[in-house]
Chains A and B, each alone.
Chain A
């Protein structure tokens, strides 16, 4: 499947952007040319050779803060997604096997989490529980988990009730083979789509929380926090929000693009796409052959 995703232009673009962001998260803090926390009297300076993106209201180098802050922002969203995967997928799979009471309870819980005003709960609960990055990831992960719960549950249901799995087992296929051959291809694409989506969503939430100063202690730089500090000085530095906003948007966009690309190459939609392309190609070939017959 990765090869088919990469055969799409959108797939290549999204993977390229996400790779770039990942490199930024790994090496960003090391590449920062200056100490992101060091203040200087040169406040709110414009871009220059010394400060590529200028300085903020305390005279700190914005470019260094951007690079240094990338790790928390990216790792935070990954943690949210993984947390959601664990918190959502496990009860989702178990809900098919552990009896009606468990099923009913987890379904209602998923309903509830979906209906909650997301950011409000994330902010309130994180702040009440101690305002740390761990609390923030845990709370946000739990709030996004219904997506994985549903995906995992429906995939498990499909497999548990499917006759071809039963038929394969009866005809002597090993359990491992069945899982690899049948279960995996059914379960993996929706999980991958959900994961890509969740990383995007998690990224928005982590940025929103850090924007409000929740989940991180103030001096530590984050992309959201950078935007928040720019807000007060818009009349002096109207261009300042551009870089962090662009990074946030590019990341979210790449995640969505990747989710769409995975969806496009798996299942029914992939086939329709191929048909349309082939029809268009044939049409063109015929027209040139017939010399433009109406």
Chain B
């Protein structure tokens, strides 16, 4: 495994995702929910967003994907994915871009897969639509992907339904579906929340693998600092829609400037984070 202490290489590559001072407004009560988020992401890099629920992390992700819920809108700022301003794209161009340039996985993977269709067929569907493969070839590729996300017995899993699989398996399937059309950016929104600790570690390893081997750029969103610490090059700490602290992971973890970040870290002292810190220290 590559070491995480490696100093960030100077970014010569163009950012695949750039978010500039994005503000999101709710039309229901005319309130600004996200108050200016900015970050850039180059291939093979990982940005983490931490914060409690309701801090605006998920809305930011959904804005990036162009799927804000009803009555929400991006009121200011710009989002560029692979150089294109997504707020200016037609719905058809957005559809073309999703899956093949940018994709996402979420918490509660079972609900993000269709309960009435075999999970493998849902991966094959993405391959057929986005890559134009024929039915048989798509099936073959889908099974390869299921193997690539370390599922045992991929042939069997292919023909199963969501209710026949465990949470960890479903998250692997969801990741396989998300990367089926070879996107450059993958957003993992609380992707390991509500999973067992061991399964959580496995999924994080899988994401790290994908970053290293496929050069995927990741946006990892979590309320759990340990998750972010394990993967990310840069961290944004959000609270009530504002970015209270932003910087390289090491800096934010070792010299937190904001009170809220300190609070988050102290809460984690007993749990996963301390393990990470001790490994870092060695």
| Chain B, Cβ-Cβ closest to A286 | B30
- A285 cross-chain contacts in B, Cβ below 8 A: 30
B29 within 8 A of A: yes
Q: Which of B1-50 contact A (CB under 8 A)?
A: 27-30
A292 to B16, CA, bound (A): 34
B72 to chain A, nearest CB (A): 10
A282 to B75, CA, bound (A): 14
- A235 cross-chain contacts in B, Cβ below 8 A: none
A174 within 8 A of B: no
B152 to chain A, nearest CB (A): 40
The majority secondary structure among interface residues of chain B is loop
- B30 cross-chain contacts in A, Cβ below 8 A: 282, 285-286
A163 within 8 A of B: no
B59 to chain A, nearest CB (A): 16
- A275 cross-chain contacts in B, Cβ below 8 A: 28, 71
B62 to chain A, nearest CB (A): 17
- A282 cross-chain contacts in B, Cβ below 8 A: 27-30
A128 within 8 A of B: no
A240 to B211, CA, bound (A): 78
- B70 cross-chain contacts in A, Cβ below 8 A: 279
A283 within 8 A of B: yes
A180 within 8 A of B: no
- A286 cross-chain contacts in B, Cβ below 8 A: 27, 30
B71 to chain A, nearest CB (A): 4
A278 to B70, CA, bound (A): 13
- B29 cross-chain contacts in A, Cβ below 8 A: 278, 282
Contact bitstring A257-279, B, C-beta under 8 A = 1, else 0: 00000000000000000010011
A265 to B30, CA, bound (A): 24
| Chain A, Cβ-Cβ closest to B28 | A279
Contact bitstring A277-294, B, C-beta under 8 A = 1, else 0: 011001101100000000
- B71 cross-chain contacts in A, Cβ below 8 A: 275, 279
- B28 cross-chain contacts in A, Cβ below 8 A: 275, 278-279, 282
| Chain B, Cβ-Cβ closest to A283 | B27
Contact bitstring B82-125, A, C-beta under 8 A = 1, else 0: 00000000000000000000000000000000000000000000
| Chain B, Cβ-Cβ closest to A278 | B28
A108 to B89, CA, bound (A): 57
Central interface residue in B28, B29, B70, B71, by most chain A CB within 10 Å:
B28
A283 to B70, CA, bound (A): 12
A275 to B28, CA, bound (A): 6
A286 to B25, CA, bound (A): 12
- A283 cross-chain contacts in B, Cβ below 8 A: 27
| Chain B, Cβ-Cβ closest to A277 | B28
B69 to chain A, nearest CB (A): 11
A235 to B78, CA, bound (A): 72
Interface residues of B (CB under 8 A from A): 27-30, 70-71
Interface residues of A (CB under 8 A from B): 275, 278-279, 282-283, 285-286
* 16 examples of A-B residue contacts, CB within 8 angstroms: A275-B28, A275-B71, A278-B28, A278-B29, A279-B27, A279-B28, A279-B70, A279-B71, A282-B27, A282-B28, A282-B29, A282-B30, A283-B27, A285-B30, A286-B27, A286-B30
Given contacts A278-B28, A282-B30, 14 further A-B contacts (CB under 8 A): A275-B28, A275-B71, A278-B29, A279-B27, A279-B28, A279-B70, A279-B71, A282-B27, A282-B28, A282-B29, A283-B27, A285-B30, A286-B27, A286-B30
Q: Which 8 A-B pairs have the closest CB atoms?
A: A279-B71, A279-B28, A279-B27, A282-B30, A282-B27, A283-B27, A278-B28, A275-B28
